[in-house]
Amino acid sequence: MTKKILLIDDDKDMCSTLKDVLKLDTQFEVEYTISPLDALDKIKETNYDLIVVDYKMPEMNGIELLEHIKKMNKTVIVIMLTAFLSNELIEKAQKAGAKKVLSKFIWPNEISKQIADILK
Amino acid sequence: MIRIYTKIISLRITFNKVYAKKIGIGLSAVLPVLLVLLVCWPNPVSTASKKNKTITFAGNDKFPPYSYLADSSPTGFFVDITKLIASESDLDIRIKLMPWDKCLSGLRTGKIDVLIGAPFDEKSKKFMSFSVPIHELNFSIFVNMDNYHVNSLSSLEGAVVAVRRWSPIVSNVDKHKSIKFVKTGSILEALEKLQNRDVTAIIVERNTALYYISKYRIDDIKMVQGTISTPYKYTFSVKPDNEDLLAILNSGIELIKETDTLEILRRRWLGIPNSRHFPWKIVIVSTALLSGLMLLIAGVLWVIFLNATIKIKTQQIKDMHQKMVEKDKLAVLGKLSGQIAHELRTPLSIIHNSIYLLEAEGAEDKDIFKKRLTVLEDKVKLCSNILESILSYSRIKAEIAAPISLKECMEEVLHDLDLSEKIQTKVTFSDKYLLTVFMDYRQLYSVLRNLMLNSIQAMNNEGKLTISVGPSDNNRTITIRLVDTGPGIAGSVRNKIFNLFYSSNITGTGLGLPISRSIIEANNGQLYLEETSQSGSCFIIKLPSSKNKK
């Protein structure tokens, strides 16, 4: 069965390019949304295998969204993407239940590889 | 000296009158006889005043510090007084010191004219005449150091006590019948008896005993505190028939008492200050001067200390300030670097992704290819804008300043923003004046654009933006007013919104408002948030009119 991935980032271009990168490198089914609130609706309806969450978003930040997601689905794997990686953020994200915290500024195929490894 | 002579003359007249009455002869009848008698009368005073007869003074040779022999030479307090009076009275004198009993017999036989330091005694008046007192002497009890029982005369009942023979104390203590008195030739002898424990105590003149104790370093004898009786008056004494000489001595004593000479001698020999003549004024003035001097020195030292402290503290403050400035610069630089990195990484990662996809997909699908290129172009522009914002902060002072038409600049900003229909804009210009400001066009453009974008974001892309431009401060300035219908800015953050990197919007960089304010202030203007009773926010830009620029 094809694994389902949801991307959440307020930058539409980030979402679309990352979706295309994942589609290119993997066989995963990828969806995206630029609104955290919309994301929560989607999570209610669909059972995603992995969710990629951006940290800095206008409606709520990635940590808050992560906490909401974990309340709704404890087992879902969540990866946090951030433009500015810090130890403090990694600690916060992992405490909230993130499987991994990745920098946005890594090779695109590296993101695909990391996600594929997690979903093996 | 003159006074003494006057007294001598008056005394001689008195004396002669008395003498004339005594012989019971009328003055007129006996005048020639008297004249002969006056010339031939063996009067020591008259001879003394003429310095043709030497007057012999004698005193106790073992009575330090009053009279004693030092290298066979008479010395002491009484000796000095004698010399002083002789000098003042112009008397030719000779001083002899010897045992007191010899002094007494010498006076009796006429070998001695005056006794120095004779204790006044009513009973002795028939043997000698006493001058006015020259000094008062105190008597004390002395005991061995280990004697703790004797504390007064009455505590000596039944004990053996030594006193000096001829001492005036003898008649005073003799009434204590139960005390067995031993009489010695001198005070030193009495002290020796006490040291040898032949006697329990001695009652002697205090200063003399203390003189010997000090001189011979006697450490096993102590003085019982307090005096034994009232002080004894010590005088000069002469034979009862030598009243003239006594008068001269009395005058001399009074004279030296009136001056400080007696007190100087008293202090020199006995160390006793005279409270009556104590130079309080000198002491007070000296103390005041000394205190003033010390205060002055202290003041000068204090001023020097303060100056030094101020210099040190000032340097410390300067150093601290410099450190703070450096620290602040580093903090800003660190924060700025982090912010730049953060702002640039998202578009750069999109660029990265797009290039990665282009490489993989090639240009076969032209639509996709074009889409990738558009994203690339947009993100490169975004990166450029971010850098431009940051750079504009670092070079706020305009390099290309020129008169700018506000209307023209405003219209261009609005055109470029390409606002949606949900955003209504109303821009009004006062047509009475040529509304121009003197500054860099790009800077004004970025400030206006930034403020308008903030308002549009605050209104969540739906609302009304009202801009009015007009002269103010008597045409010296131009005010631009931007009012939106957004939620407004909460009171708690009103004073933070111009802080570097502060952003109430999670997507904001926190650079827009502080950069805008810096630009306006660099052009001698003001940018601030005006408090309004209505909802929404109202930003004011005030710039000098270009008419004020030369």
pLDDT, tens digit (0-9, with 9 covering 90-100), for B169-221: 887 777 778 888 889 988 999 999 999 999 999 999 988 998 899 888 888 89
DSSP assignment string, B32-85:
HHHHHHHHHS--HHHHHHTT-SPEEEEEETEETTTEEEETTEEESHHHHHHHHH
Q: Do B353 and A103 touch (CB under 8 A)?
A: no
What stretches of B110-183 show up as alpha helix (H) in DSSP?
A: 169-173
CA–CA dist A50, B329 (Å, integer)? 43
**Closest chain B C-alpha to A12 CA, distance in angstroms:** 10
pLDDT at B35 over 70: no
CA–CA dist B10, B466 (Å, integer)? 127
Q: How large is the ipTM?
A: 0.87
User: Token pair for residue A20?
Assistant: 């295309």
> CA-CA distances (angstroms) from residue B196 to A18, A95, B31, B192, B199?
124, 103, 68, 6, 8
DSSP assignment string, A72-117:
H-SS-EEEEEESS--HHHHHHHHHHT-SEEEESSS-HHHHHHHHHH
Minimum CA–CA partner of B503 in chain A: A58
pLDDT band with cut points at 50, 70 and 90 for residue B50: very low
Give B238's Cβ-side CA count (13 Å radius).
18
pLDDT band with cut points at 50, 70 and 90 for residue B433: low
Query: Phi and psi dihedrals of A54, rounded to 5?
Result: -80, 155
User: Token pair for residue B78?
Assistant: 């009484």
| AA identity, residue B411 | E
Check if the beta carbon of residue B514 is closer than 8 Å to that of residue B450. Answer: no
Q: Is A97 on the interface with B (CB under 8 A)?
A: no
A3-119 domain in CATH 3.40.50.2300?
yes
| AA identity, residue B77 | F
Q: What tens digit of pLDDT does each residue of B483-529 get? A: 999 888 877 777 778 876 666 654 455 678 888 888 888 888 999 99
Q: Do A61 and B342 touch (CB under 8 A)?
A: no
pLDDT at B41 over 70: no
Q: What tens digit of pLDDT does each residue of A55-70 get? A: 888 778 899 999 999 9
Count the neighbouring beta carbons within 10 Å of the beta carbon of residue B25: 13
Q: Which of A57, A84, A107 has its CB closest to that of B506?
A: A57
Check if the beta carbon of residue B524 is closer than 8 Å to that of residue B544. Answer: yes
pTM for the model: 0.39
pLDDT band with cut points at 50, 70 and 90 for residue B533: low
Q: Do A108 and B357 touch (CB under 8 A)?
A: yes
Count the neighbouring beta carbons within 10 Å of the beta carbon of residue B10: 11
Question: Between residues A58 and B240, which one has the greater pLDDT?
Answer: B240
Tell which of A20, A82, A112 to mutate to test the B interface (max B CBs under 10 Å).
A20
Count the neighbouring beta carbons within 10 Å of the beta carbon of residue B353: 26
Check if the beta carbon of residue A97 is closer than 8 Å to that of residue A75. Answer: no
**Beta strands across the sheet bearing A100-103:** A29-33, A4-8, A50-54, A77-82, A100-103
Q: Is A108 on the interface with B (CB under 8 A)?
A: yes
Parse chain A into domains and list their residue ranges.
3-119
Query: Which B residues, 329 through 368, put their C-beta within 8 Å of a C-beta on chain A?
Result: 338, 341-343, 345-346, 348-350, 352-354, 356-357, 360-361
pLDDT at B36: 43
DSSP assignment string, B116-130:
EEEEP-GGGGGT-EE
Q: Is A29 on the interface with B (CB under 8 A)?
A: no
pLDDT at B363: 83
Across the range B416-435, mean pLDDT stands at: 81
- Which value, in Å, is the radius of gyration of the alpha carbons in chain B? 59
Tell which of B343, B353, B376, B461 to mutate to test the A interface (max A CBs under 10 Å).
B353
pLDDT at B434: 65
Q: Do B348 and A108 touch (CB under 8 A)?
A: no
pLDDT at B373 over 70: yes
Angle in degrees, CA B61, B63, B64, rounded to 5: 110
Count the neighbouring beta carbons within 10 Å of the beta carbon of residue B215: 11
pLDDT band with cut points at 50, 70 and 90 for residue B155: confident
pLDDT at B410 over 70: yes
Q: Is A74 on the interface with B (CB under 8 A)?
A: no
Tell which of B342, B344, B354, B356 to mutate to test the A interface (max A CBs under 10 Å).
B356
**Closest chain A C-alpha to B428 CA, distance in angstroms:** 33
CA–CA dist B239, B112 (Å, integer)? 9
pLDDT band with cut points at 50, 70 and 90 for residue B21: very low
Q: Which of A21, A24, A84 has its CB closest to that of B345?
A: A84
User: Token pair for residue B265?
Assistant: 């001698």
pLDDT band with cut points at 50, 70 and 90 for residue B33: very low
Closest CA to B169 of B130, B209, B116: B209
Count the neighbouring beta carbons within 10 Å of the beta carbon of residue B528: 14
Across the range B291-301, mean pLDDT stands at: 93
Q: Is A56 on the interface with B (CB under 8 A)?
A: yes
pLDDT at B17: 42
Q: Which of B161-165, B242-246, B254-258, B533-537 has the lowest mean pLDDT?
A: B533-537
pLDDT at B379 over 90: no
Check if the beta carbon of residue B52 is closer than 8 Å to that of residue B90. Answer: no
- Which value, in Å, is the radius of gyration of the alpha carbons in chain A? 13
B478 Cβ contact partners less than 8 Å away, ≥ 6 residues apart: B406, B435, B437, B469, B470, B471, B472, B542, B543, B544, B545
Give SS3 for B207.
Answer: helix
**Beta strands across the sheet bearing B73-75:** B62-63, B67-70, B73-75
Check if the beta carbon of residue A107 is closer than 8 Å to that of residue A20. Answer: no
User: Token pair for residue B484?
Assistant: 């939106």
A83, A85, A86, A91 alpha-carbon torsion, rounded to 10° = 110
- Omega before B65 cis (within 30°)? yes
